[in-house]
Structure 1
């Protein structure tokens, strides 16, 4: 019996092909290390550029900033490619692994909830009881607020529409309707891009900046970080869209798409709070 359990026996090969535990033991990968260095370059270059310092390699920090951005995006693409290969083609993402990924996505979104709780806390701390330094009123005197029923209302319609189309795409995928899932996801991406463009137009035409006291800081910090989340969610859904075009997703194997939908609905809910509290009530 002991001889049959040696390395080259059929029993050993059977154990190698069908392990006793359902967890995925990740193979060594260079992408975490590359991502760490890329993020170091990106963060350092951002600080250098924003403060007007010279780059260590000469010139402004803009070229170093682009280098950090390109290396970060490249590392993410290579890392995600390996994850997709493991889950879709190698079958390493078992039911237990998928449950763990779902839980991690939920905990990540929960951490984002508390991040925005701190942002709203800062806003309401200043707006509910304006100090003398703020002129004892909110908004402070001299701040031309943005009309909530112009671009902000349009952005609200766009974002809520994107939530509806991505939900339609999800249900179409479950029902096996390939045309519906591609159409719904494409419409979601279009709405997301239009939202980002409108947000940029709003920032460009705003009558105040982030340097205009507490109001400017809380406004641009809250809406700006939400805009960053919109960009991340757009990339998240875009990856799922291209995987649909490549026939990677099925009606029972689309965990990445479900994660992007959960993230996008979180972005929708945060925007509703932003619109009501900062754009409408706060102005």
Structure 2
């Protein structure tokens, strides 16, 4: 959402667009590539790359068109309400996405493990099974591994994300105060903190594979650890991309103190990512 709403119509309705069809084709190509890749077919990786590049190109031109409409004064207050509701429901869908993963972890630890250790199942299925966490899974021949602890990298990453939430809030208040230079500085600091977070997570994964022998194939602990932290890292990356686009728009003079929903939407998403990490930090690294 941009500044110029004085000439905006009652409700702007865009014309027919080719971008949904192109986005669907790119995602189909990506899915087709993934399915062939995991089944060992040679064209798989190339199809995945083509799908990703195509999808990013569609997003670039699609959002570019939306930005041009916004800057052209076509988006009024009613469109702003639509954007807010849409972003709110999108974040709610992301909440449920992570709730499913946290639920899988809870089920494995609090329900499945005690169930497998009771006298009926233990005597029949796995006599040597012990309901302790972390667990590689009974009788599956998984190599020995070490659990990932909260120190030092996860704790450093927690401080980084909490700090990034503060810098983003400072940037937002600066925009409301119409201090564009301060807004740009603190938003750039937020993006840098996110990039450092991802750098530490890459190092953590290397440490897990090389020194702890902790892999995606390390039973239920390994799969849940990499599933939760990996998808969170993907969301941090997407949030950083959103904030970077907002930063570029700020440098171009977009947004005003009263009209800046793109900034707010990206900020909502970033704060959501922060909250999810706090849950991960406690449940995955401490418990």
**TM-score after normalising by structure 1:** 0.87
Aligned to 2:121: none
In structure 1, the residue corresponding to 2:14 is in which secondary structure?
A: coil
Pair 1:72 & 2:80 matched: no
Which shifted more, 135-144 or 193-202? 135-144
Are the structure 2 counterparts of residues 18 and 273 from structure 1 closer, same or farther at C-alpha, using a change threshold of 3 Å? closer
Contact 2:243 2:266 survives alignment (8 Å): yes
Q: Is the 8 A contact 2:191 2:244 kept in 1?
A: yes
Match of 1:27, SS state, is: coil
TM superposition shift of 1:49: 2.3
TM-aligned CA deviation for residue 108 of structure 1: 1.0
1:220 maps to 2:202: no
Give the match's secondary structure for 1:276: helix
How far apart are residue 72 of structure 1 and its match? 0.8
1:43 to 9, 31, 36: 31
Q: Which moved more, 1:27-36 or 1:130-139?
A: 130-139
Q: Which of 79-88 and 138-147 deviates more?
A: 138-147
Which residue does the alignment assign to 1:100? 82
Determine whether 1:166 maps to 2:168: yes
Structure 1, unaligned runs of 5 or more: 1-16, 56-60
Tell me how far apart the structure 2 counterparts of residues 43 and 240 of structure 1 sit (CA, whole Å). 29
Q: Report SS of the residue matched to 1:25.
A: coil
Shift of the alpha carbon at 1:18?
7.8
| Mapped contact 2:162–2:274 kept (Cα < 8 A) | yes
Select which of 10, 26, 30 maps to 2:18.
Answer: 30
Paired with 1:27 and 1:234, the residues of 2 have a C-alpha distance of: 30
Q: 1:135 to 1:253 in 2, by over 3 A?
A: same
TM-score by length of 2: 0.85
Higher relative contact order (CA 8 A, sep 6+): 2
- Following TM superposition, by how much is the alpha carbon of 1:93 offset from its aligned partner in structure 2, in angstroms? 1.4
Asked whether 1:118 is paired with 2:100, we answer: yes
C-alpha spacing 1:40/1:201, structure 2 compared with 1 (3 Å)? same
Tell me the C-alpha RMSD between the 2 structures.
1.6
| Aligned-pair CA distance for 1:213 | 1.2
1:7 matched residue in structure 2: none
Q: Deviations over 1:97-139 (max 9, x none)?
A: 1011101111111111111111111111122242346631111
Residue correspondences, number:
257
